[in-house]
Amino acid sequence: MIAREWKARVPNKHKEGFIAYLYKTGVKDTSATEGFKGAQIFCRQFDEQHVEITLITYWPDRESVMAFAGQNIDVAKLYPEDDVYELDPDTFVHHYDVLEHQFVS
């Protein structure tokens, strides 16, 4: 399994709006792609005025990631309205081999 990690910073005032927008764009697009296994969104205070949002999506293999991201899977997929949220996005993503994925409730 492959985990694809993308990060962006957004002003505190846009936190809720951007997370809702992220569901309508990145999460919607990834979940509609064959091979998609799941997603997680993390948020942390980055500095006094910004939060950092992390989106991690899960895929069975790199070919499935390519179905979403295109040939160069290391380039972030950004959306036209990102600027509305004063987004400071990473333009690259990281991919990890998932060695363990057990959750306990």
Residue 19: CATH number of its domain = 3.30.70.100
Does some domain include residue 17? yes
Does some domain include residue 102? no
Over residues 32-89, the pLDDT tens digits come to: 999 999 999 999 999 999 999 999 999 999 999 999 999 999 999 999 888 999 999 9
Task: Please give the residue range of the domain that contains residue 65.
Answer: 2-97
- Give the pLDDT of residue 105: 74
How many structural domains comprise the chain? 1
pTM over 0.85: yes
Does some domain include residue 105? no
In order of 36, 44, 72, 89, the CA distances from 53 in angstroms are 20, 7, 22, 9
Task: Give the rounded distance of the alpha carbon of 83 from its chain centre.
Answer: 16
Does some domain include residue 58? yes
